[in-house]
Chains A and B, each alone.
Chain A
Amino acid sequence: MKVSFMKPEKKEEGSIGSFLSSAKLTVGLIACLVALSIAGACLPQTGQSDRSLVSSLGFATTAPIVAFFGLHDVFNSWTFIACVTALFVNLFACTVLRMPARIRARLNNDDFLHSSAVASLRESITIYSPFSAERVLEYLSGYMKTLGYRAIVRENSAIFQKGSAGWLAAPLTHLGLFVLLIGILISTLFSYSGMLYLTEGDKILLCDWAKQAGPLATVRAMPVTLLSTKKEVHAGGEPKQWISQISVVDKKMQTRIGTFSVNHPLSVEGIDFYQTDWKVVAVTLSINDRKVKVPIEDGTHDKMGTLKLASDLVLILRLDENAKIKAYLKADDFDRPRFLATLSEGQSVPNFPLRICYERKHPQSGIKFKCDPGLGVTYTSFFLFLLGSLFVALPNLRVWAAVEPTEEGLVKCVIGFNGVKSAHLMRADLQQVKHAMRQLVFMGCLTDREVVRVEH
Chain B
Amino acid sequence: MFAIGSAFKSKTRIVYIAGIVVLAFCFTCVSISLLVRTAESARFPITNLYESLLLFSWGLLLVSIVLFSRQSLPQLGWLTALSVSLVFLYASWLPPGQHVIKPLMPALVSYWRVIHVPPLIVSYAFFVMSGLLSIVNLWSGRRRMTAAACLLALLVCLLSIYLGTLKLADVPTIQLGFWLGLCISCAATFGLFFWEAHRPFVPTKFSDLADGLSQKSIAIAFPLLTFGIITGALWANHAWGAYWTWDPKESMSLATWLSYAAYLHLRSRSSCGSDTLSLCAFLGLLLTILTYLGFTFLDLGGLHTYGNIA
A-side interface residues toward B, CB under 8 Å? 23-24, 26-27, 30-31, 33-34, 37-38, 40-42, 45, 58, 75, 121-122, 169-170, 193, 234-236, 238-242, 261-263, 265, 272, 274, 276, 368-370, 375, 378-379, 382, 385-386, 389-390, 392-393, 418-422, 424-425, 427
Contact = CB atoms under 8 A, between A and B. Distances in A.
A389 B226 contact: yes
A382 to B, nearest CB: 5
Given A26-B265, A386-B230, A262 B222 contact: no
Interface in B171-229: 172, 179, 208, 211-212, 215, 219-220, 222-223, 225-227
Contacts of A386: 223, 226-227, 230
Interface residues of B, number: 58
A385 B257 CA distance: 12
Given A40-B246, A241-B106, 9 more contacts: A30-B265, A33-B258, A37-B258, A41-B252, A262-B106, A263-B112, A389-B225, A390-B223, A421-B264
Contact of A276 (B219, B241, B252): B241
B240 interface: yes
B233 interface: yes
Contact of B241 (A193, A239, A392): A193
A224 to B, nearest CB: 15
B102 A238 contact: yes
Contacts of A234: 103
Contacts of A235: 103
Interface stretch (B2-10, B31-39, B267-275): B267-275
Interface in B252-282: 252, 254-255, 258-259, 261-262, 264-270, 272, 274, 277
Contacts of B242: 193, 370
Interface string B99-120: 0001111110110100000000
Chain B, interface SS category = helix
A378 B241 contact: no
13 contacts: A23-B266, A26-B265, A31-B262, A34-B259, A37-B252, A38-B255, A58-B172, A193-B242, A238-B103, A239-B105, A274-B239, A386-B226, A390-B223
Contacts of B69: none
Contacts of B102: 238
Nearest to A45: B246
Interface string B76-112: 0000000000000000000000000011111101101
Q: 6 closest Cβ contacts across the A-B interface? A: A37-B255, A41-B251, A389-B226, A234-B103, A263-B110, A122-B270
